[in-house]
A and B are shown apart, each in its own frame.
Chain A
Amino acid sequence: MRLVDYLQQNALRYPEKTAVVSGGESCSYARLWQMVLQQAATLPAHQVIAFRTSQTIDFLVTYLAIHLANSVAAPLEKGMPEGLYREVSARLAACPVGDNAADVLYTTGTTGRSKGVVISHAAMIADAENLIAGQGFTHELTFVAHGPLNHIGSLSKTWPVIILGATLHILDGLKDAGAFFDAFRQEGRYATFFVPANIRYLLAFDAKRFAALADCLDFVESGGAPLSHADMLHLCELLPRTRLYNTYASTETGIIATYNYNDGRCLAGCLGRPMPHSKVMITPEGKIACQGDTLMSGYLGDEALTAGVLSNGTVFMSDYGCIDEEGMLHILGRENDVINVGGYKVAPTEVEDAAMEYAGVTDCICIAADHPVMGMALKLLVVMKPDTPFDKRSLARHLAARLEPYKVPILYEQVAAVARTYNGKLDRKHYV
């Protein structure tokens, strides 16, 4: 069964139950199914259909309607520059995909360059079943999704919600903290997903209201980037009865393992045991490899790139890890140059290529810098032509016109030269 088939089933089983809430509007399962049916009738079949991700009910309608039309949903970044959006959409529409494909999710992920990850209907259902078994999603739950719905962290939570006939409350980020806390006002059981920067924000500026959710929050999942041990301990103290999960997941592997660190031990770096549809192993080089029903089908239109990551039913990750005597996965570090910014993976080369197109830049390097909110932020070190003024804001705007918003560095510095290795390559290790 596909996700949209569960929606149809739940429209019959629970027609009046609230399926989704957003921006003051709510929509029952029966109504959602009707809207999906109507939109599906207008869509082509067997095509990858790209669309901008909005944090609204319309997003869910479009997403599920594409599935119902037997096409493949490719939700793209809301703030993607128009030129890039048109280019990616056209490329996707021309790509042949298999009958089992459900989604193409854009990610930098494990290889360090942007590409479309193909997720099958079966993988999506396996991910949902992993979450139901591993974290305890229920029919009664309202899941508050405030993160971008084109990202697997939040998108994957819509899957168990639809399967179980639960409720999804969509918010547009955490900028309006009042709207976030209002989402928990009705009596009921709730859950949500945060990247570490969200948690740091709430702990720093809204700890009282956050603590007041202790009795209605069934569980909180964090992912995308490692949560600091201090923040983990603080959360355990603030929400003593809430299950607090750190999860190992990626677009390529799906949702693999999860650990409730509110277990009295609060183990840093622990990601728990694999969930029912997944297996985890450590390669002889010490890297994490995953098997099971949640794995991607491959990278869209790139067999060579796929073969470099997925072979014999195993996805080989760039993360180093180990498995302890209790069978729990621990993450130890990452091999490649990808920089994790608030849960988004950014390939520095992509930023550097765009910066080199800016008039007056003769050399540059994009590095990770400590940031009090995100943990890690992008910093661009720039070498300018002699006598060319350095206008940081103009360069930032140049980059924003070419890259997704999360790839635009926050910090800039003009330097005389950037470090290179003996063979002329950028020396990233110099800046670690």
Chain B
Amino acid sequence: MKEQIRQLLEDSLPLVDFDSDFLFAELDSLGVTTILMLLSDTYGITLEATDATPRNLKSLDSIVAMVERKLTAR
């Protein structure tokens, strides 16, 4: 799943370094919106702006963990 999410996000945000551990700091409003929209559409999960926290968007691993949590809770 991690590589699938990486591919999905890198395709839409080519300037963002998804290997960074400070991912949230690299993102702008549009980047955050794009991530929420792509993940909710692709995985059929409900994401809200309150999910866009520095902790959830800290790194690719934390994004994957958030998706897994949402899938489990679905």
B35 vs chain A, min Cβ distance (A)? 10
Query: Which chain A residue shows the least CB distance to B17?
Result: A393
B13 neighbours in A (Cβ, 8 Å): 410
Q: Given A396-B15, A410-B13, do A372 and B30 touch, yes or no (CB 8 Å)? A: no
B49 / chain A contacts, CB cutoff of 8 Å: 177, 201-202, 205-206, 209
Distance (whole angstroms) from the CB of B6 to the closest CB of chain A = 12
- A176-211 at interface with B (beta carbon < 8 Å): 177-178, 197-198, 200-202, 204-206, 209
A interface, CB within 8 angstroms of B: 173-175, 177-178, 197-198, 200-202, 204-206, 209, 342, 372-374, 392-393, 396-397, 400, 405, 408, 410-412
Q: How far is the CB of A88 from chain B (nearest CB, A)?
A: 21
In this complex, the member of A173, A205, A397, A412 whose beta carbon has the largest number of chain B beta carbons within 10 angstroms is A205
Contacts A204-B37, A209-B49; is A374 near B15 (CB within 8 Å)?
Answer: no
Contacts of A412 in B (CB 8 A): 14
Within residues 7 to 39 of chain B, which ones have a CB less than 8 A from any CB in chain A?
10, 12-15, 27-34, 36-37
* A374→B29 CA distance, assembly (Å): 11
**Residues in chain B near residue A374, CB distance under 8 A:** 30
Interface residue B45 (Cβ < 8 Å from any Cβ of A): no
- Report A358 CB to chain B, min CB distance, Å: 13
- Report the separation of the CA atoms of residues A411 and B15 in the bound assembly, to the nearest whole angstrom: 11
- Cβ distance A248 to chain B, nearest Cβ, rounded Å: 25
Closest to B48 in A: A205
**16 residue pairs bridging A and B, Cβ less than 8 Å apart:** A177-B50, A197-B33, A198-B29, A200-B33, A204-B33, A205-B33, A205-B47, A205-B48, A206-B48, A209-B49, A373-B30, A393-B10, A393-B14, A396-B15, A405-B28, A410-B14
CB distance from A277 to the nearest CB of B (A): 32
Majority DSSP secondary structure for residues of B touching A: helix
Interface residues of B (CB under 8 A from A): 10, 12-15, 27-34, 36-37, 41, 47-50, 52
Smallest distance from the beta carbon of B19 to chain A beta carbons, Å? Answer: 12
Shortest Cβ distance from residue A192 to the other chain B in the assembled complex, whole angstroms: 14
Closest partner residue, chain B, to A210 (CB atom): B49
Give the 5 A-B residue pairs with the shortest CB-CB distance, closest first.
Answer: A177-B49, A206-B49, A396-B14, A173-B29, A205-B49
15 further A-B contacts with Cβ under 8 Å, apart from A175-B28, A197-B33, are A173-B29, A174-B29, A175-B27, A175-B31, A177-B49, A202-B49, A205-B47, A205-B48, A205-B49, A205-B52, A372-B37, A372-B41, A373-B34, A393-B14, A400-B15
A143 to chain B, nearest CB (A): 19
The residue in chain B whose Cβ has the minimal distance to the Cβ of A208 is B48
> Contact: B33 with A373, CB < 8 Å?
yes
Query: How far, in whole Å, are A200 and B30 apart by their CA atoms in the complex?
Result: 11
Q: In whole angstroms, how far apart are the Cα atoms of A206 and B10 in the complex?
A: 25
Chain A nearest CB, measured from B65 CB (Å): 19
Check B29–A201 contact: CB distance below 8 A: yes
Looking across the interface, which residue of chain A has its beta carbon closest to that of B25? A175
Residues of A within 8 A of B52 (CB): 175, 177, 205
In the complex, A408→B30 CA distance in Å? 13
Given the complex of chains A and B, what is the CA–CA distance between A176 and B50 in angstroms?
9
